[in-house]
Amino acid sequence: MISIEFTPHMRDGQMIFLEEMGHQVDAQRGDVWVVLWQNVHPVYRALGDDLISSCTLPLSVVLLGGTVEVTGMDGIKLYVNVNEPYPFNLPLVKTIDGQGLRTPNGRGRLVIMFYVIVPRVPTSLRDATTNMIRQIENAPEQNEDA
């Protein structure tokens, strides 16, 4: 029987060499190579020490800014401010240090890619919505800090 100690900072594709731990042929034991294979996670994708996740943003947060709740790998609720200079390109990418994969020296980052949810406009609100959107599109750019 072979015993292997796995640590949280081991990565997909990592190879472990176990010298003379294989089958014995004649008087000599063979070597064993163990290759780690990572299962696909339904929410996160590993990229080095970082975890990549996709989340959706409500249209109101995209247009007006706000805070979005996301869940980290350990189930911890994280709050991300989305108050970007407008317009910004989607996907909006935010990173949170220390919420990625464990490493011998700490943790990597959680990289969140935000996409917008464009809601269906009910027929009863279509005219009012169209007018409001046109006003926003045609409004002169103003510097609110001045």
Q: What is the pLDDT of residues 96-146, one digit of tens each?
A: 999 999 888 999 999 999 998 888 999 999 999 999 989 988 888 766 655
Any domain includes 100: yes
CA distance 109 to 121: 37
Residues 51 and 109 in one domain: yes
Per-residue pLDDT, averaged over 73-90, amounts to 81
Looking at the 3D structure of the chain, how many domains does it have? 2
Does the pTM of the predicted model rise above 0.75? no
Residues 3 and 48 in one domain: no
DSSP-derived secondary structure letter, 75: S
Residues 58 and 2 in one domain: no
Residues 113 and 49 in one domain: yes
Any domain includes 127: no
pLDDT of residue 64: 84
Any domain includes 130: no
Show the domain range for 85: 44-120
Mode of pairing for the β-strands spanning 66-71 and 44-47 = unpaired
Residues 48 and 99 in one domain: yes
**In contact, 117 and 59? CB cutoff 8 Å:** yes
Structure tokens at 12: 């997909």
Any domain includes 138: no
Residues 29 and 85 in one domain: no
Residues 49 and 116 in one domain: yes
Stated as kind and residue range, the H or E segment containing 129 is helix 126-138
- Is the pLDDT score of 11 beyond 90? no
Any domain includes 145: no
